[in-house]
Amino acid sequence: MDFLLRLQESSFSQWVSQSGSLWGYPTILFLHTLGLGTVAGLNAGIDLRLLGFGRQLPLGSLKRFFPVMWIGFAVIAASGLALLIADATTKLAQPVFYVKMLFVALALVNMHLIKTRIFQDPLLDARPLASQARLLSISSLFFWVAATTAGRLMAYIY
């Protein structure tokens, strides 16, 4: 707890949470939202395509979005760490924070499974999808909605 207090009282934490600068909390929160929109949005598009929506779009063309999603996740992680440092003692005492982290971890594992088990197939667009594609896409949608909901609840549950 002492470490968390020192972290929260650091000059970086004070700048993020109390400076009033547009480059502090507002920009960091915007980057967090932008990263989440990128990762969850692209995931949702891929998931919906795996579920049969937009059949005219070749699945293989969606593989190029996986590196973009990982870049979006890097933005989420960096901005999320900055937001956490700004209020570490409060956030780390909230059970909903750990629920959010669990769903983010599950969503990332799921994203990796979709890439390795579905998109590594060289005949992806030439044959029916693997049977696990539907389950992976539904669970992906659930995990990202749950992570986002838990993240929003953090602002209201102390």
**Residue 4 pLDDT exceeds 80:** no
Residue-level pLDDT at 97: 96
Structure token digits, residue 8: 């929260």
Structure pTM? 0.88
Residue-level pLDDT at 17: 80
Query: Which residues are within 8 A (CB) of 44 and not within 5 positions of it... i.e. 6 or more apart?
Result: 140, 141, 144
Distance set, CA 81 to CA 8, 50, 84, 132, 142 (Å): 12, 32, 5, 33, 24
Mutual angle of helices 65-86 and 25-50, in 10-degree steps: 140
Q: What is the Cα–Cα distance from 13 to 11, expressed in whole angstroms?
A: 5
Q: Please report which confidence band the pLDDT of residue 113 belongs to, taking 50, 70 and 90 as the band edges.
A: very high
**Residue 158 pLDDT exceeds 80:** no
Q: What is the Cα–Cα distance from 74 to 67, expressed in whole angstroms?
A: 11
Q: Please report which confidence band the pLDDT of residue 83 belongs to, taking 50, 70 and 90 as the band edges.
A: very high
Q: What is the Cα–Cα distance from 47 to 58, expressed in whole angstroms?
A: 13
Q: What is the Cα–Cα distance from 80 to 151, expressed in whole angstroms?
A: 10
As a whole number, mean pLDDT of residues 60-71 equals 96
